[in-house]
Amino acid sequence: MMKPLGKLVEVDEHKISIFIAGKGDRTIVFLSGGGTPSPILDFKALTSRLTDSYRIVVIEKFGYGFSDDAKEERPIAKILENSRAALQKVGVEGPSVLLPHSISGIEAIYLGTTIS
């Protein structure tokens, strides 16, 4: 088994993977769309170019990357609750720039009102 690339934190009785890298006073939180097998690796070409100027955060939702596969239904409210909890557990507070991909644009709209 491969070692997780991010930090595993317990959220809702499961482990969620959250990757933090870089330096800088500004934080960019990457949110993946559906069907992204490993958001940390998928975004790496971009995130690795930003770490000199920004703190980079990538959340791997349940069922993706190194996060546990949670079998429960995950409506948008639950996904947002899990993302907020994961960010809190690793000490990421707003303001942050949210960088959504695909369907996570919906998450960014709702999440942006609570962490900025």
Each domain of the chain, given as residue ranges in start order, spans: 7-23+37-115
Angstrom distance (rounded) from CA 13 to CA 18: 16
Distance, in Å, from the CA atom of 108 to the CA atom of 100, rounded to the nearest integer, reads 6
| Helix (H) or strand (E) run with residue 9 in it | strand 7-11
For the chain, the farthest-separated pair of C-alpha atoms sits apart, in whole angstroms, at 38
pTM of the model: 0.91
Whether the CB-CB separation of 18 and 58 falls below 8 Å is answered with yes
CATH 3.40.50.1820 fits 7-23+37-115, yes or no: yes
pLDDT in tens, the chain (116 residues): 688 899 999 999 999 999 999 988 999 999 999 888 999 999 999 999 999 999 999 999 999 999 999 888 889 999 999 999 999 999 998 889 999 999 999 999 988 765 54
The structure tokens 């409506």 sit at 75
